[in-house]
Chains A and B, each alone.
Chain A
């Protein structure tokens, strides 16, 4: 719109529905806990069915409110995911870099998303548990490896030596996962929910990758708070149920 964005006007805010998928115990809930509360729990209980959390992510031009659906990885029946990826604009597919089978499962999820989810869905592949590898254990020294896009030579060298290095539990090389991510056009990160390395970066990258068009028509102009002040832009279709009705919860009460 032609209105100048002065510092007084709040940035436009959009909701983005994000679904987390991946094998059991790869750290899906821990990643969300780190992102939402900046917290980590050792020996966290498995998620039973699913969990719903929200967190805001501030970009230079807008605020993205993530509505995060964390699914249970151990579900045997493969019946929960279809309930969540409907209309999801983003998916975070997680594997455990110390467990090759979890990458196989991740690839399965990516294929299912590409087959079933909305055509424009942004998918991020995330290798978690960087803290159990050499890069992770001396993360204080290295700025760690956001492996998105360009490949870090040093990391490769380390990977090749992985079997020999004592204390390095890495079983999936950065190179392998990154090559797959490039092939499938996915965002790619290696993270540690335990130390927090790269966790916020994943969500910021997803927020940046959501096409502007999908923010506008996809989930409404989303100027939630502005509606109360009456400054609603003409093209907004969103009806705010919460505020108005919460103020007069008694149905039929006209006083």
Chain B
């Protein structure tokens, strides 16, 4: 085998996060010579999944090497409890996000044939925390017309306003176009619901939760919330009755990233872990031919030559103009809970699968915060996800607030969740909290975002990962744009991620 230094590489991918790994998948059938490296000893980058011990090591590194990853201030809390299983019985994910059935990711996984290596599960119910005198503090958000009819909490009058709203947003665009007045969506979502549809205030938060907005109903524009609620409703039933979003088993985004890397490995890509980029030297003007390659020094001491280098800000150090990108912050936590939290995962429609995940939203006002403070989201994964042993569950918490206030809100939400389920023994067995840096989810032009973050012709830099709770389709646009850049004149749009099954994989 040729050494790394002797091979004239076409593309060097730095980092194995979701963006880079989907890019690896896109190149897996090209005839490019691809080197894929990661400075870490594991795959997945900022979307990785860990055993307990690996999570501890990850947290230590985040604190030891500030600025080396889009994470800050990580801390593991592990009260001694015999119910905690061995370290490798857990697969805790930095990317527990859900994938809407209408996401373009799914057709991409199908056409690239890698869906066979993944197992998808349903995200079932949306719950909203609402302290009440009634028997439960958790209210199941009606997320389809059938749900609304069946709901015995909402008054008949409110149901009518709700149906009116849903009918309105469910209309195909051409019908709305004919209407004389353009709808004003720049108003806050609460105002939009209240003044236009007379939806009562108590239903604003439940509706907002379907948009997964990380701001309050007052702070979220209708422009942001309405298309996302549409997406939620339009996704239900696509892959089966009663659910509209999915989860990749065994660690969400981490599993997707691994599948991308495997595809490139099968296609002949060379993989080297524990090798990051120390420095990049662009080719001098004198050798500006077709074979001009930049020089890259790797942290393992080797030096390579490559036409393109692809990564994120944290994997491409020393690039002129590659200053720390502007990021927002979210406080997050991962908690292993000693209860299956079974009541959160009811089958949501006859003939539907058993959901493996649920969403629980705590409006800021329910956590003794101001009316317009951001809500806390808890994504609950059951043991069916393969992330924890049977009888336990994993709670992924997040709020768009940084620092101690954010941590404390997430912690309170987890505590309130455990108090509200009918399992007196439910306790947090292990938890990790950290701050994640990322792009606000309303930046949606992936092509533009990629172009503006990539400093030079040969260097392609993915913008920071999205802080959204769903898979961000803009990432696919970025991957496609990067693929087009690397393929040059050979790029044919229709061929992006369209592959035949490889030999030996039988069709059923």
- Chain A interfacial positions (CB closer than 8 Å to B): 36-37, 48-55, 67, 69, 74-80, 82-84, 86-87, 116-119, 217-220, 224-225, 227, 230, 232, 234-242, 244-246, 249, 251-252
Q: How far is the CB of B108 from chain A (nearest CB, A)?
A: 10
Indicate whether B270 reaches chain A with its CB closer than 8 angstroms: yes
The answer to whether B265 touches A50 (Cβ under 8 A) is yes
Cα distance A252–B269 in the bound complex, in angstroms: 34
Residue pair B110, A49 in contact (C-beta under 8 Å): no
Chain A residues with CB under 8 Å of B411's CB are none
Contact of A230 among B91, B111, B351 (CB under 8 A): B351
6 smallest CB-CB distances across A and B, nearest first, come from A53-B504, A49-B265, A79-B273, A239-B120, A77-B272, A48-B268
Contact of B122 with A by CB under 8 A: yes
Q: Given the known inter-chain contacts A217-B384, A238-B353, please indicate yes or no for A69 contacting B89, CB distance below 8 A.
A: no
Asked if B353 contacts A232 (CB within 8 A), the reply is yes
Which residues of the other chain, A, contact B508 by a CB distance below 8 angstroms? 224-225
Cα of A54 to Cα of B386 in the assembled complex, Å = 22
Q: Does B77 contact A (CB under 8 A)?
A: no
B270 to chain A, nearest CB (A): 7
Given contacts A234-B354, A239-B121, A83 and B504 within 8 Å (CB-CB):
no
Q: Which of B57-106 contact A (CB under 8 A)?
A: 86, 88-89, 91, 102, 104, 106
How many B residues are at the interface, by size bracket? 35 or more
Chain A: CB-nearest residue to B243: A239
A50–B104 alpha-carbon span in the complex (Å): 28
Q: Which residues of A have CB within 8 Å of B390?
A: 217
Q: Which residues of B contact A232 (CB under 8 A)?
A: 351, 353
Given contacts A49-B270, A217-B383, A251-B102, contact A239 B122 (CB under 8 A): yes
Residue of B nearest to A67 (CB): B117
Closest B residue to A233 by beta carbon equals B354
Given contacts A67-B117, A238-B121, contact A52 B102 (CB under 8 A): no
- How close is B486's CB to chain A, nearest CB, in angstroms? 19
- Is there a chain A Cβ closer than 8 Å to B325's Cβ? no
CB proximity to A under 8 Å, residues B341-357: 347, 351, 353-356
Contact yes or no, A77 B273, CB < 8 A: yes
* B272–A79 touching, CB < 8 Å: yes
* Chain A CB within 8 A of B495 CB: no
> Whose C-beta in chain A lies nearest to the C-beta of B263?
A52
**In the assembled complex, how far is the CB of residue B497 from the closest CB belonging to chain A, in whole angstroms?**
13
Q: Check B246–A239 contact: CB distance below 8 A.
A: yes
The interface residues of chain A lying within 8 Å CB-to-CB of B271 are 49, 75, 77, 79-80, 83
Residues of chain B with a CB closer than 8 A to A79's CB: 271-274
Compute how far the CA of A224 lies from the CA of B239 in the bound complex, rounded to whole angstroms.
Answer: 14
What is the bound-complex CA distance between A50 and B110, given in angstroms? Answer: 21
Residues of A within 8 A of B347 (CB): 234
Cα A244 to Cα B506 in complex, Å, equals: 18
Contact of B1 with A74 in the complex, beta carbons under 8 Å: yes
Q: Is the CB of B353 within 8 A of A251?
A: no
A87 and B270 within 8 A (CB): no
Contacts of A50 in B (CB 8 A): 262, 265-266
Contact A52 B1 (CB under 8 A): no
Write the B243-261 contact mask toward A (1 if CB under 8 angstroms, else 0): 1001001100001001001
Q: Which of B102-126 contact A (CB under 8 A)?
A: 102, 104, 106-107, 109-111, 115-122
- Nearest residue (CB) in B for A86 is B258
